[in-house]
Amino acid sequence: MTAWLDGTDPEEPDRKQLASAVRLSLRTLAAVAPGHSVEVRVPPFGAVQCVEGPKHTRGTPPNVVETDPRTWLELATGRLPWADAVDRGLVAASGARADVSHWLPLVRV
């Protein structure tokens, strides 16, 4: 997976490995930024609510971050800065609390 994220291996990891990495990193984000005011979505593998603030309970959350699995893992491992991902349109972040850059990277590789 590391070589794929670094761009030295063009072959995407198998779906099970990719799903596991995304889910584990999302759980890590929820642990380091506990709360329910932001929903971070990485379809098709997972979503978590995190960041202290007003709790969302129904309908579309007011603070949403959504991205693809590769971009999420690049953010989580420090390979891609948050601002660059947003500027390049790789991350959709809506709402006043949707900037989760304070908690990224989750791990440095």
CATH number of domain containing 67: 3.30.1050.40
E strand or H helix at 29, and its extent? helix 15-32
- Which positions ≥6 away from 29 have C-beta within 8 Å? 40, 48, 50, 76, 100, 103, 106
Structural domain for 54, as ranges: 2-103
Using the structure block, give the residue that is written with the tokens 């893992």: 73
Looking at the structure of the chain, the number of domains it has is: 1
* Average pLDDT in the chain: 94
Query: In this predicted model, what pLDDT tens digit does every residue of 6-44 receive, in sequence order?
Result: 999 999 999 999 999 999 999 999 999 999 999 999 999
The pTM (predicted TM-score) of the whole model is 0.93
Tell me whether residue 64 is in a domain.
yes
Distance CA 29, CA 66 (A): 14
Residue 60 has pLDDT above 80, yes or no: no
Tell me whether residue 92 is in a domain.
yes
Tell me whether residue 109 is in a domain.
no
φ/ψ of residue 54, rounded to 5: -60, 135
pLDDT attached to residue 102: 96
Query: In this predicted model, what pLDDT tens digit does every residue of 75-91 receive, in sequence order?
Result: 999 999 999 999 999 99
